[in-house]
């Protein structure tokens, strides 16, 4: 879920490297980790009694400035919360001030913060939430994953992109962003720069979704539950899925995180589907074991989410524990959003080239519009309440 993993050449192997073994040591990472924590507190880390925060500053500015239709500009109209503030501060530091090289190793822990936050998210659901998610939402998710993959492969061939880049773009935009791109890269023998191109396209599109979709949702008055499903199906990168949901509302963020688990689970099946759909006959002749792909590419942190959720369904967590895990979840997500902002270079967003950006944005926009259409039909017909 971070762009840091593309720095090394992609090896032509299906071997899965442990998340922890691939991370830099704490000795090398502590400056970056300290920077993330410090900036998170300055931005306004929920639950931390630190009065001098960016959030409080924006609230003060809203009180000083004349109200717009009786509402404050930053908090009420632009909805600057810990998600937007953390990402914005991180982006400004990376692209205006610059990030010291000593911070870079610590920024690679952003994916760990996100995965840990998702595990903690399991404490916020009961069995009824799975029932509420419903077969219609799962159907929308499956249609969007495999439909977008098919459409993107077709568009890639139309633009005459390299099959490897087409496959990586299809995995990135139809599944869960960076994780899916890296999962399929060894199978297609992708070059590291091709992975970088795909990630540049999806991260930039995800940023557009993160800031634009909540505005669209409020204009259309989409309920939080339905917007959460829209975020999980329309936004390409998992970190940005959750950020988009929480940017809309806390309830929408919870739904987006829960629904996104379903998309993450589809990674092995989606990777195999794209592999055989996108690649040339030369690659199709190679023997790829479906079981090996499932075993090596299935995200382990999903089991942590399921375990925490199951224990909550059995009421094994007392109420103070679930409240504490909700606070921890928000902390880890805030750390992730700040780190994600500091990893995003505007200069990298054009690395995919005009064709790569066009293909990614075309498929991404088509996916958002299709998801919005399906959700609207289910919503208005009473099948998704």
Q: Where are the domains of the chain?
A: 109-380
Tens digits of per-residue pLDDT, 249-296? 989 998 898 888 878 877 778 888 887 777 644 455 555 555 565 556
Res 297: pLDDT: 61
Average pLDDT, the chain: 79
Tens digits of per-residue pLDDT, 32-72? 999 999 999 998 877 777 888 898 898 889 888 887 767 78
Residue 3 confidence class, pLDDT cut points 50, 70, 90: very low
- Tally the C-alpha atoms within 13 A of residue 350's C-alpha that lie toward its C-beta: 3
Separation of alpha carbons 278 and 163, rounded Å: 6
pLDDT greater at residue 294 or residue 373: 373
Q: What is the dihedral of CA 67, 219, 365, 137, to 10 degrees?
A: 130
Tens digits of per-residue pLDDT, 97-112? 999 999 999 998 988 8
**142 CB neighbour count, 10 Å cutoff:** 16
Share of the chain above pLDDT 70, in %: 82
Question: Which residues contact residue 348 at a Cβ distance below 8 angstroms, ignoring those fewer than 6 apart?
Answer: 3, 196, 200, 203
pTM to 2 decimal places = 0.73
∠210-215-197 over CA atoms, to 5°? 25
In the predicted model, what is the mean pLDDT of residues 335-357? 76
Written as one string, the DSSP assignment of 83-102 is: HHHHHHHHHHIIIII---GG
């Amino acid at each position: 879920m971070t762009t840091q993993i593309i720095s090394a050449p992609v090896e032509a192997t299906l071997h899965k490297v442990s998340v922890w073994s691939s991370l830099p040591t704490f000795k090398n990472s502590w400056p970056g980790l300290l920077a993330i924590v410090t900036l998170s507190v300055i931005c306004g880390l929920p639950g931390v009694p630190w009065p001098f925060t960016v959030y409080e500053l924006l609230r003060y500015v809203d009180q000083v400035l004349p109200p717009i239709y009786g509402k404050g500009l930053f908090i009420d109209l632009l909805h600057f919360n810990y998600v937007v503030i953390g990402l914005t501060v991180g982006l400004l530091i990376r692209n205006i001030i610059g990030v010291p090289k000593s911070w870079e190793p610590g920024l690679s822990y952003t994916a760990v913060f996100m995965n840990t936050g998702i595990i903690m998210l399991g404490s916020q659901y009961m069995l009824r939430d799975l029932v509420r998610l419903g077969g219609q939402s799962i159907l929308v998710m499956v249609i969007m994953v495999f439909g977008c993959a098919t459409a993107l492969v077709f568009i890639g061939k139309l633009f005459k992109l390299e099959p490897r880049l087409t496959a990586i773009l299809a995995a990135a935009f139809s599944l869960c962003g960076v994780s899916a791109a890296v999962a399929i890269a060894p199978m297609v023998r992708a070059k590291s720069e091709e992975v970088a191109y795909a990630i540049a396209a999806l991260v930039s599109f995800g940023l557009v979704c993160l800031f634009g979709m909540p505005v669209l949702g409020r204009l259309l008055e989409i309920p939080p539950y339905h917007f959460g499903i829209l975020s999980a199906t329309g936004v390409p990168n998992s970190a940005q899925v959750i950020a988009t949901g929480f940017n809309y509302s806390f309830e929408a963020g919870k739904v987006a995180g829960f629904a996104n688990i379903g998309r993450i689970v589809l990674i092995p099946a989606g990777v195999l589907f794209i592999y055989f759909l996108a690649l040339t006959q030369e690659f199709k002749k190679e023997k790829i074991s479906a079981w090996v792909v499932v075993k090596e590419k299935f995200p382990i942190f999903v089991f942590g989410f399921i375990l925490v959720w199951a224990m909550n369904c059995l009421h094994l967590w007392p109420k103070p524990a679930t409240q504490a895990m909700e606070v921890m979840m928000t902390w880890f997500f805030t750390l992730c959003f700040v780190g994600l902002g500091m990893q995003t270079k505007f200069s990298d967003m054009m690395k995919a080239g005009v064709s790569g950006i066009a293909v990614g944005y075309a498929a991404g926009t088509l996916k958002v519009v299709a998801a919005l259409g399906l959700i609207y039909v289910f919503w208005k017909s009473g099948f998704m309440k």
